[in-house]
Structure 1
Amino acid sequence: MDSTPVNWEALDALVIDFAKSENLIEDSCSFVSSTSSPPSSPSSSSSPSLSSSSYYSRLIIRQIRRSLETGDVDASIDLLRVHAPFILDDHRLLFRLQKQKFIELLRRGTVEARDSAIDCLRTALAPCALDAYPEAYEEFKHVLLAFIYDKDDQTSPVANEWSERRRFDIAGLMSTVLRAHLHAYDPVFSMTLRYLISIHKGFCFRQGISSPISDLTERLLLEERDPPATPQESLYEAPPFDEVDIQALAHAVELTRQGAIDSLRFSKGDLFQAFQNELCRMKLDVSMLDELVREYCIYRGIVDSGLASPSGFQTLSKPLKVDQQLHGYWSSRDCSVEVDCSASKVSDGDSSITTPYMDGSPEKSTDMTSMQGIDVELRYACEPTSTNEDCSTSGSHQHENIRVQQRSRINTYAAGERSKRKRWRGRNDDVGYTPSVSSDESSKQELSTTTLVSSSCISQGQQGLEGHSVQDINNREDKYEFVLGMKALASKGMATEVVEEVNAMDASFFVQNPILLFQLKQVEFLKLVGSGDYSSALRVACSHLGPLAANDPALLKPLKETLLALLQPNEHALDKGLPLQALATSLQVAIGKRLGIEEPLLMKIIRATLHTHNEWFRLQMCKDRFESLLQIDSLKQVSPPVFSANATSKSNADRCSNGSSQVTISSTRMSEDGSSPTQVSSRDVICDENAILKVMEFLALPRADAIHLLAEYNGNAETVIQQIFA
């Protein structure tokens, strides 16, 4: 599972969209300003949206949910009357609300509350019971027993009515209905995580294997779900839906067949809307998810860690006192950094800071004022020693000036990257709604957060100074900035600078990671070829690529493919060569581990769940119908690196489907002995989806077994069933 390739840039985009959608980070383009006026009616968001535009509606839903969970039914009704009056027009839901209000009034135990409960019966509950639904009047008469049975009597006929569990049931039901009507679905990443974890759990259970992330998935995705929203139509009429859609929904979100039919009825036959409704019924530990996202954003340099120096650029422009590894690195760079920074004015394409932001959305430009400030600070810190001192201990003064220019460009580039980071603000918008949490639940949440935070070196650094010295925290920040700096340089193709910086930090790093060195030297080679400097390119190949390939035969083939770039001098060799973003992430993880910075838990979860997603649909011999909606396919779109011997291999899932969910291609080979039903040569059999479902239903077989049987009988379901029962 650890070796599963992931498109981390696609995950960055999903995570950033989640953080912006939930207003967790401060961003000038935030949609929060658009929340000053609520939607006037459900028609104002008539089309399903997976974007952050539904933030206001989700916030209202959370407030209604919390008021119901705390027993404040009047507050929830007031909010519904203002923001979703159509809910109160549905007497089925209104009856449920009024019945809960009656119980909550009796729960107070005062004479005034009892009189209010009787008034609620006369004016609200009884009228609703007449036409809410057929069983409503019987439920109305039953709940009257709450007048004579105490709430603490667990043996009473109305013990269930008194149970506080009813609060959470009706709160969940209201959330389900409101979410569907307002199209206020959770961000894509939240639904994607639910889906991947649910498949991961199911796969591990059915295959009898232990999950390496079970401690995380069990706490993150809760077993409990919100109640489903039932349609008003009769449950006894024939479902007007394709059986393929029914089974796809039932298997995707673990519903019964009748549950899938009800869900499709509620969504008026829209399979993807029904799928979203069911996914959002699954409950996530929101506080844990936020912490996972925050940890990942810090690790990837999306948000600021909160420990950086105020100047924002000094981390890479001053010698820092860290542990022995980084201390030696910074000490060796001290002189060259402070000799002459006049070259910081020199422009270089590789160090340009007007680069696309890592979430995939292009930035128009970087604030020129801030960049001028960086340039001034660099020159101010360096000019006093530039005219009279020369710290070079070897080589010519000209060579030292080149190194100074390189360091200046790196510092400027790193400062520009840091200026793009956002500030984490957290979930601070639910002001005024603080639901009561039992002591057991509170301690569980505290334990969950503590366990999660303690698992990451980066997250530990965010918890304050308690238990750590200031120097320790600075050390972690220095390492963190160095790792992010190397990732940023590698993503821009500045391979020469990366190798030099890492070697200065730890001369043995590339000895232990030769493939990373090979990839970086490939980048350097391809850049030189692209610029027309063939002699320097061949020098890199002879000095580095050749010896590395000699030590590892698996690198010989990619070496040959890399050298082919010499035959295409007019093409952009680097663009067609290594995927720089994937290389940058691999470098980040490797250097981070070397410096004691663990990768975030979210990366481990995504790797493991994508692996089981691949394996599950390989066993099912079909393509996931919902992976495009949840952008799972983009997470799997990883460009094969040149150094990989399996660069041309295709995923197993693609081999099992022609892209349509209606047919499945089985590559089962038929033997040509006398036991075969027909004498045919080996060939692929195209199995109709309806035939597969028919065999699965009649014979109670798993999907893969049904496909194998159909392949033996030319895809004819009737023949398969006749042969089995003959």
Structure 2
Amino acid sequence: MDSTPVNWEALDALIIDFAKSENLIEDSNLSSSSSPPSSPSSSSSLSLSSSSYHSRLIIRQIRRSLETGDVDSAIDLLRTHAPFILDDHRLLFRLQKQKFIELLRRGTVEGRDSAIDCLRTALAPCALDAYPEAYEEFKHVLLAFIYDKDDQTSPVACEWSERRRFDIAGLMSTVLRAHLHAYDPLFSMTLRYLISIHKGFCFRQGISSPISDLTERLLLEERDPPATPQESLYEAPPFDEVDIQALAHAVELTRQGAIDSLRFSKGDLFQAFQNELCRMKLDVSMLDELVHEYCIYRGIVDSGLASPHGGQTLSKPMRVDQLVHSYCSSRDCSVEVDCIASKASDGDSSITNAQMDGSPEKSIDMTSAQGTDVELRFSCEPTSNNEDCSTSGSHQPENLRVQQRSRTIAYAAGERSKRKRWRGRHYDVGSTPSISSDECSKQGLSTTTLISSSYMSQEQQGLEGHFIQDINNREDKYEIVVGLKALASKGMATEVVEEVNSLDPTFFMQNPTLLFQLKQVEFLKLVSSGDYSSALRVACSHLGPLAATDPALLKPLKETLLALLQPNEDALEKGLPLQALATSLQVAIGRRLGVEEPQLMKIIRAALHTHNEWFRLQMCKDRFESPLQIDSLKQASPPIFTPNATSKSNADRSSNGSSQVTISSSTRMSEDGSSPTQVSSRDVACDENAILKVMEFLALPRADAIHLLAQYNGNAETVIQQIFA
């Protein structure tokens, strides 16, 4: 699972969209970087996002009111924001019945009188025309007058149960979400889907999940009740069986449940799919913490950290809230960067974040990436491409290494002005509390930030060498990792190699492939600029020796040299996945420094792996892969000119095609998931309708149905007759 390729830039886009949709971040550059307000597309997009967010807040408040038994407040909110709900007597009857129970639950004379009044004026009239069973339910709930709420053996114990609150709250949320189109952000739905497939795959295959401790707490087992279709929709024509089975297997519904879901969405398959996904419950507090950790690691949001005075080192990892508090108490330190080349001093630049929703105004020094108690200065002279890029680095004096390290930190500090500030979840409509940090701790949530992971044991420090002991500041480690990623993503390979060598002279000895890829970038940059002699010098000094020690690099070396035949083509932009290289470098150097990758990356990587394996077993393409952008997450750029990259890309393209005819064989599919190039005499073309017929009649998984059809020449009737014979 660790080797599963992931397009982290696509995930970044999903995460940013999620954070913006949920108002989790404050972006001071949003107005300048986005389209002008006068742009119709921009204004409509922003208004749609704002409208959806506001609707979700209202739904959360209605849910909270019902869960606490405050039915009157929920009805008032519905009357103001969604009056159509009260026009549906089926839903209104359930609300009034719950209100009647809550009035009796008070146990006072006034409450009993109010309950009787509720019966006469609201509940009884609704019971007459809500639905056929409503009047019987009305008579049954009257027993609550004579049976105590604490009597667990009474015939109305289920009516007294507080579980009814959560059921009706979930039902209202499901209905409101569909009618208001207030669906959760795309990333939230994608994560639900991937985790549900991951858990199902591991269960059916009998294997243990490496991320079970995260997925079990993140995706809860219970779901909100489904929204029942109106009676008028029961006369709708039958839906395509392909759609019914696709929905049923995607979100684990019965066939009748899938039909009801399609009826409620009036036959819209993807809307029904969205409705069912949003019924799955996520631990929102845990999700926010995982997203926050990921955003810090990727440099999307500012870490909000600063080192304490005196170069103090933490003895144990700290949580996100502790680290932020540490920053708030010591943010007056800064780094002054003195550029000798320009003879100008870069003054402290700060950004004052606008006050939002009552949040206190804070001023954050965006260039405060301080080291220890020593003021760091360095010369920012341009680096020549012809400089020696030796991986030894052992001859470098200590002050030069400190200068180079501080150069990376300062570069990352300059990038901080582009980062967004984490705002956190605020409920602007009413007060809808989420799970607190203390409660998360009680549940065993041990999500640690990337900086908190930067403190290794004494044994690890001894193994890593003295270079890590020089970096005794958590902010330094974080900024170094992000700074190197930023340098690599801009194609500054020479600078990256120098910085890494100054940090750890042995790093590239243990990661020769990364060095080869960085030197490929340097080579292609020189070719693009027309400096062929310097490019050949890089090839002779680095690419050749590296390929000689690793035969797997010989083919990439030949393909890299082909760039000399196309001097007019920008090989750097067309042939190099710089973002993928930057991420690989970030993970590798981060682990070297003790900065572990965020747990969300582990979840996505493992979930995509099981998604591939599951649909390989199903022998079909996931119909919901594209709408959820799972296909984008899988479109990871192959390493630069790596062996078999072209053949693997072709295999992926051939396996991504969908067809209504499935080629089935009694032999197992190839490991790369590509379609077989030769079809033996035992292979049978199975019609999709035949597969669905066997699945429906025999209640079999898709793969088993295909194997059965393969044994009987694809004839569904023969299969069914043989089974029931």
Alpha-carbon distance, 1:546 to partner: 1.1
Aligned residue number for residue 216 of structure 1 = 214
Alpha-carbon distance, 1:704 to partner: 2.0
> Equivalents in 2 of 1:321, 1:563: separation in Å?
49
Secondary structure at the aligned position of 1:223 is classed as strand
Aligned residue number for residue 627 of structure 1 = 625
Alpha-carbon distance, 1:476 to partner: 1.1
Aligned residue number for residue 6 of structure 1 = 6
Alpha-carbon distance, 1:27 to partner: 2.3
Aligned residue number for residue 698 of structure 1 = 697
State the Cα deviation string for residues 58-93 of structure 1 (Å, max 9, x = none): 000000000000000000000000000000000000
Aligned residue number for residue 179 of structure 2 = 181
Aligned residue number for residue 17 of structure 1 = 17
Alpha-carbon distance, 1:413 to partner: 4.9
Alpha-carbon distance, 1:218 to partner: 0.3
> Equivalents in 2 of 1:205, 1:275: separation in Å?
22
> Equivalents in 2 of 1:207, 1:413: separation in Å?
48
> Equivalents in 2 of 1:219, 1:373: separation in Å?
36
1:341, 1:405 within 8 Å by CA — same for their partners in 2? no
Aligned residue number for residue 523 of structure 1 = 521
Aligned residue number for residue 452 of structure 1 = 446
Label 1:493 to 1:133 Cα distance change in 2 as closer, same or farther (>3 A). Answer: same
2:454, 2:593 within 8 Å by CA — same for their partners in 1? no
Label 1:705 to 1:112 Cα distance change in 2 as closer, same or farther (>3 A). Answer: closer
Aligned residue number for residue 491 of structure 1 = 489
Aligned residue number for residue 229 of structure 1 = 227
> Equivalents in 1 of 2:339, 2:214: separation in Å?
50
Which amino acid in the other structure matches residue 3 of structure 2? S
> Equivalents in 2 of 1:434, 1:244: separation in Å?
40
Which amino acid in the other structure matches residue 14 of structure 2? L
CA-atom RMSD in angstroms: 3.9
* 1:116 maps to which of 111, 114, 123: 114
Percent identity for Structure 1 against Structure 2: 84
> Equivalents in 2 of 1:659, 1:343: separation in Å?
62
Alpha-carbon distance, 1:557 to partner: 1.0
* 1:105 maps to which of 88, 103, 106: 103
Which amino acid in the other structure matches residue 458 of structure 1? I
> Equivalents in 2 of 1:62, 1:229: separation in Å?
17
For structure 2, list consecutive stretches of 5 or more residues without a partner in the other structure. 32-43, 315-335, 347-364, 370-374, 382-396, 456-468, 669-678
**In the TM superposition, what are the counterparts of 1:268-307 in structure 2 within 5 Å?**
268-307=266-305
State the Cα deviation string for residues 172-213 of structure 1 (Å, max 9, x = none): 000000000000000000000000000000000000000000
For structure 1, list consecutive stretches of 5 or more residues without a partner in the other structure. 32-45, 324-335, 347-369, 375-379, 387-399, 463-470, 671-679
Aligned residue number for residue 127 of structure 2 = 129
Label 1:652 to 1:711 Cα distance change in 2 as closer, same or farther (>3 A). Answer: farther
1:340, 1:404 within 8 Å by CA — same for their partners in 2? no
Secondary structure at the aligned position of 2:424 is classed as coil
State the Cα deviation string for residues 592-629 of structure 1 (Å, max 9, x = none): 11111111000000000000000000000110000111
> Equivalents in 1 of 2:368, 2:584: separation in Å?
33
Which amino acid in the other structure matches residue 168 of structure 2? I
> Equivalents in 2 of 1:55, 1:595: separation in Å?
39
1:105, 1:116 within 8 Å by CA — same for their partners in 2? yes
Which amino acid in the other structure matches residue 151 of structure 1? K
> Equivalents in 2 of 1:597, 1:406: separation in Å?
20
Secondary structure at the aligned position of 1:535 is classed as helix
Secondary structure at the aligned position of 1:222 is classed as strand
Secondary structure at the aligned position of 2:98 is classed as helix
Label 1:574 to 1:654 Cα distance change in 2 as closer, same or farther (>3 A). Answer: closer
2:101, 2:144 within 8 Å by CA — same for their partners in 1? yes
> Equivalents in 2 of 1:509, 1:382: separation in Å?
25
Secondary structure at the aligned position of 2:204 is classed as helix
Alpha-carbon distance, 1:136 to partner: 0.5
State the Cα deviation string for residues 617-670 of structure 1 (Å, max 9, x = none): 00001100001111100000112123432312148775455334x343446679
Alpha-carbon distance, 1:486 to partner: 0.2
Which amino acid in the other structure matches residue 19 of structure 2? A
State the Cα deviation string for residues 223-264 of structure 1 (Å, max 9, x = none): 000000001127976852000000000000000000000000
Secondary structure at the aligned position of 1:691 is classed as helix
> Equivalents in 2 of 1:384, 1:566: separation in Å?
34
Aligned residue number for residue 172 of structure 1 = 170
> Equivalents in 1 of 2:483, 2:54: separation in Å?
37
Label 1:631 to 1:569 Cα distance change in 2 as closer, same or farther (>3 A). Answer: same
> Equivalents in 2 of 1:248, 1:499: separation in Å?
50
1:339, 1:404 within 8 Å by CA — same for their partners in 2? no
Aligned residue number for residue 658 of structure 1 = 657
Which amino acid in the other structure matches residue 17 of structure 1? D
Which amino acid in the other structure matches residue 7 of structure 1? N
2:295, 2:301 within 8 Å by CA — same for their partners in 1? yes
2:454, 2:595 within 8 Å by CA — same for their partners in 1? no
Alpha-carbon distance, 1:435 to partner: 6.0
> Equivalents in 1 of 2:378, 2:195: separation in Å?
56
Which amino acid in the other structure matches residue 705 of structure 1? D
Alpha-carbon distance, 1:706 to partner: 2.6
1:337, 1:407 within 8 Å by CA — same for their partners in 2? no
Alpha-carbon distance, 1:156 to partner: 0.6
Alpha-carbon distance, 1:477 to partner: 1.0
Label 1:384 to 1:8 Cα distance change in 2 as closer, same or farther (>3 A). Answer: closer
1:617, 1:653 within 8 Å by CA — same for their partners in 2? no
Alpha-carbon distance, 1:345 to partner: 11
Label 1:50 to 1:704 Cα distance change in 2 as closer, same or farther (>3 A). Answer: farther
1:21, 1:53 within 8 Å by CA — same for their partners in 2? no
> Equivalents in 2 of 1:153, 1:371: separation in Å?
62
Aligned residue number for residue 26 of structure 2 = 26
